[in-house]
Structure 1
């Protein structure tokens, strides 16, 4: 019994000590929490806000350090009082950006919790849920990186702003701070830029359009994306209707109004404007540079463009379109095949009137300019050789297990009505020969080759593929032909070489990848055949006198498109001419692309010594009898012509007198094959 009492006493003493310890921990915890709360309150109430970030122009430079564009060299930000801003813009902004603006204290915890839950479920940081005050804090004090650390800082600064300013003052700061695209910061600058009026005079429809832009100035600018801007405007009007800031009748009436947007002013015209837009797009969308940092962060962006070549390109385009229909459009892109650097880019005839960059338009059929890819495929697979002969005459082709018929025709109904070889077919752009070639090779193999050289557009495995009936962009065509110019190596397209911040820290540096996608021998044989386009009987013979160096290339003409894609060892260029709406081009308009190419190429390389295409190993040369496609011999009736082949695919039989069988190729190869190859190699080096 005494033993039990003793145990009870020990237990009671232990429980008493634990109770005292718990009470002590509780009081310490409470004291700590009260201390932290008090410190937080004092900081929130009295800690000074940091100075707002200063803005500095971002410089886009060409390869030689010349300025292409200065983004926000002087920020367009006239200040307006809240009373001088249209109440419709205020209502539209609150409806689409922060419906509970007058209810929260800087952070909408309900919205933040919802966004956090979505992020956790999807393992991402895509949800925003930033209040208008948080957006202001981010624009004034922080970067736009998607991290929880930045979110916490943003919430802190937002709460501090709410302590320091009234709701109307915060709203006024926001409407004078937010970026509306094209260099316009704040409601007043945006109203003047887009509508040439003061912010206080904005209508419901205009206010809804403006309020939709800050979410993504590149995507919702009425200049860069009219359809996206219009869709976003309707979203804003619906938000105003849902929050009872508009009646249904007012929303419907505003949605039916076509808002007249003012053209961009002259000062938006800059050197290489289409290229500058492309650089911004690449930096933001592909390299992850924040848009605000791009416009006002004082970056230095070094690019591959050569402003001297760019001016020559713009001049060549201007001269090439003179005297024609003012609606006739064009695109030109030139790249250095050795490293993938974009050297010149013209996306249209007038940037101020139309900012759409046709260099990237995948809406145009390349026509016969696609044929080199077909011929390269056939040569690689030994389906045909340069000596292979097909009859040039109206022909029916059966495909899909003979269930379908394809009836191609030659331009202007011109046929040779006889057998021709590949060089003659390429020079004259004979469609019948090209379709015979793809039938021998297989369209699937041609698509495979197109992918290897960089064509990403949709292509279907049908015979008409040989004639370029599936749309591709000038950008794709220039880089595809650059593979032939670069001895079979495909280089990754490159527009930006380096990005540095205002302190000189490197944010990005390019290291273009290169891949051998076809053999040097195949690239050379294809190139050698394409040189004949500039010779007598070739479709580019008219511009041959404008060029004073070895050039290879191919014309392409459809009912609505004119192309010329060509190259030298150091420059590959694609030129397109046509109408935006696919309207038919005239015969004279169809001949405008090639002279633009010639003026640009010779102007850009005029001071450089002409460079020959180097003949690599794996190429054989032989004299061929043009009448039979067999090896020439003294007993052949005609004169032999020199032809190039992939080694091992040259003819093995020689021609014979009429009525005799072709003779076997002698065991020893023709001597010319060795000394000519050696001579060409010496010349090429």
Structure 2
């Protein structure tokens, strides 16, 4: 007793010194905070625990319901605004009741003293602990305004279980921020901190204690707010309270991606760009697609939707089932690196258009060709021969894409992907021409961003996942507006999946510029589409990399893409042309030869319209259609035109490699007749095109083993003009053999370096180098 009196006197004596000399303590960010993730409309997606496993969110005082603030002061510390952090009279009464009469234990803590206890985790049930609490309260009162102390209390007070602070309590119990609480809800929270164990709103056993305390507070409230008596009926209604175990866990892959620290460290409220309605729609459609195709071995898929105007992610589903360990459901398919198959081909075409290599109607060769040690094949292992760039892209032919990549100027397609910020790129030599065919790994986010660049006129912009995120970052120009539009204009002609053709609507009446991809070994099926102001990307596969012949982009991912577009794109009747101002594009529609895509010569009778970039697109006149003099008497090709003795006839001079494709397809071509016998080689060589040697290739070193039959020889082949019937081969100055166009000549190789020459039967020639290494 005597000791307690002495201690109390000492405290009072030291108060003045403490008041003047104590340092300013930190109140803000002293304890770790939870992260609350909201969708773009403010709906809670997830409330994550703080580092100390508590739910704790900071909320400024001006964003807390004034009713809750007033009710808290009324219930906890009516004289809060009048005392200096400690109420001496209350302390004296508490001391008398607790230690003199010992009738009951009384704390007499003011709000400021409670902040001190919560801030420094003090034990206030002992005399020494109470003294420290008083001193800390005086320290707080010395340096902080009343509103700051009250704000700290409301953000530190316990509200049952591991919930601290009114913002976390309001979100968990009532699914609303602390600024939107009704009067019954505000008074409910106001009485909890005084006894958070027995008044836990989520604890059914203590619920009656909570309601009784709230009723007593409401009676006190009415003394100063008599007009609120009309709300009495609302206090009689059942109160719906959510437990922390019932908190939402929406868009788990999306939230995990942000929560991983890539976007914003620490805690607090994060308002994302995700639209919960679209997210739930995407999840439902994706799960349904997987369930319907389960008998084909399709057990997993991923998808995302990106707004091309704002570059905001509005929906992201990383797997078919986040909680299914059997499909590695917690792996995020939107951020995993996978082979994109053919989905990068449109950018090879766009880059080729920008470099003046092709325009949409340019003739391309879908025919066998070897590039060093790489021999690309088509998905169907067939060849179409001559095909327009438009059709080659729609049909996703590998040979034309590889040829285009080989013709791009430095830094080529690899440099383009590097400029487009595709991550973890190996050196260009690592991929070779397989780069455009799915040889590089990309993420769905990177792929969607590239397609958004097409929709944005070739401007690459950063993806946004948080509202208020920097939108002023300058866009990077990676393609011209013209090439971007032309590629989208081609992709819109890709037929929809069989399941979405007439009479069923195609993406609810909108055009879709879309592309599919299938990776090597049938490990990944992709579909990416631009429609309206949205890019939707879809992946179907297994995270363990196991292949499945059902994983084909068009059939496995395409229907899911169109299902999503029909549900997510609100526009109706959208077209690719709606996304650009045609008058501002440097484009013209011109006539081109329908067969070759080149500018029509005088002998090209069938033309079609094609888009053309003036000053950029290649200007070539069609040379396939040629008029040659034919002798009236013999029907043979004359050396020159002699009126009355010859007539001019038009023939198609297709290169020999394309002739072989036509022949394999059963298409008969009417070639020019042979020259008259009196036409010399000089006269014949003056027209047409010289051969182009395709094998051997100068950049290769050929290795042969011993003598025949171990040494099978090296094939010599060349592409020749349409009127050639024989090719003559020379090694150095020595004649070694003859072959027909489209057929190789096999030379029994010797070690060394050689000059290879080919001469066609009209005297036109070409040469190439050959290096041979002999292995015993």
Scaled by the length of structure 2, the TM-score of the pair is 0.48
What is residue 439 of structure 1 aligned with on the other side? Answer: 406
1:365 to 336, 339, 345: 339
2:331 to 356, 366, 389: 356
- CA shift, 1:633, in A, is 7.7
Cα distance in structure 2, aligned partners of 1:529 and 1:509: 33
Alpha carbons 2:603, 2:627 under 8 Å: kept = no
Alpha carbons 1:334, 1:344 under 8 Å: kept = yes
Are 2:443 and 1:473 aligned? yes
- CA shift, 1:458, in A, is 1.2
- CA shift, 1:76, in A, is 7.6
Alpha carbons 1:636, 1:655 under 8 Å: kept = no
What is residue 595 of structure 2 aligned with on the other side? Answer: 627
Are 2:280 and 1:308 aligned? no
What is residue 534 of structure 2 aligned with on the other side? Answer: 571
Larger relative contact order (CA 8 Å, sep ≥ 6) = 1
Cα distance in structure 2, aligned partners of 1:385 and 1:395: 22
Are 2:545 and 1:582 aligned? yes
Secondary structure in 2 matching 1:592: helix
- CA shift, 1:70, in A, is 3.9
- CA shift, 1:334, in A, is 1.3
- CA shift, 1:597, in A, is 1.1
What is residue 275 of structure 1 aligned with on the other side? Answer: 254
The gaps in structure 2 that reach 5 residues or longer are: 1-12, 56-114, 131-160, 165-243, 629-649, 652-776
Alpha carbons 1:533, 1:541 under 8 Å: kept = no
- Structure label with greater radius of gyration: 2
What is residue 367 of structure 2 aligned with on the other side? Answer: 393
Change (3 A) 1:49 1:509: closer
2:303 to 332, 344, 360: 332
Are 2:568 and 1:599 aligned? no
What is residue 39 of structure 2 aligned with on the other side? Answer: 62
Secondary structure in 2 matching 1:659: strand
Secondary structure in 1 matching 2:334: helix
- CA shift, 1:453, in A, is 3.3
Select between 559-568 and 319-328 the one with higher mean Cα deviation. 319-328
Secondary structure in 1 matching 2:380: helix
- CA shift, 1:415, in A, is 1.7
Alpha carbons 2:304, 2:313 under 8 Å: kept = yes
Secondary structure in 1 matching 2:517: strand
Measured against aligned partners, the alpha-carbon deviations of 1:80-118 in whole angstroms (never above 9, x if no partner) come to: xxxxxxxxxxxxxxxxxxxxxxxxxxxxxxxxxxxxxxx
Alpha carbons 1:304, 1:341 under 8 Å: kept = yes
Measured against aligned partners, the alpha-carbon deviations of 1:260-294 in whole angstroms (never above 9, x if no partner) come to: xxxxx99576332222222333xx44333x24xx4
Cα distance in structure 2, aligned partners of 1:377 and 1:509: 29
Cα distance in structure 1, aligned partners of 2:591 and 2:542: 45
Alpha carbons 1:394, 1:432 under 8 Å: kept = yes
1:409 to 361, 369, 377: 377
The gaps in structure 1 that reach 5 residues or longer are: 1-34, 79-137, 143-153, 166-182, 187-264, 399-404, 499-507, 663-685
Cα distance in structure 1, aligned partners of 2:291 and 2:536: 21
Alpha carbons 2:290, 2:298 under 8 Å: kept = no
- CA shift, 1:471, in A, is 0.8
What is residue 287 of structure 1 aligned with on the other side? Answer: 264
What is residue 647 of structure 1 aligned with on the other side? Answer: 614
Measured against aligned partners, the alpha-carbon deviations of 1:284-310 in whole angstroms (never above 9, x if no partner) come to: 44333x24xx4xxxx3x3221122222
1:382 to 344, 349, 356: 356
What is residue 735 of structure 2 aligned with on the other side? Answer: none
Alpha carbons 1:303, 1:495 under 8 Å: kept = yes
Measured against aligned partners, the alpha-carbon deviations of 1:354-396 in whole angstroms (never above 9, x if no partner) come to: 322110012x100110111211222212233333323212321
Q: Which structure carries more strand by proportion?
A: 2
Alpha carbons 1:554, 1:565 under 8 Å: kept = yes
Are 2:258 and 1:323 aligned? no
- CA shift, 1:449, in A, is 1.7
Cα distance in structure 1, aligned partners of 2:47 and 2:413: 44
What is residue 556 of structure 1 aligned with on the other side? Answer: 517
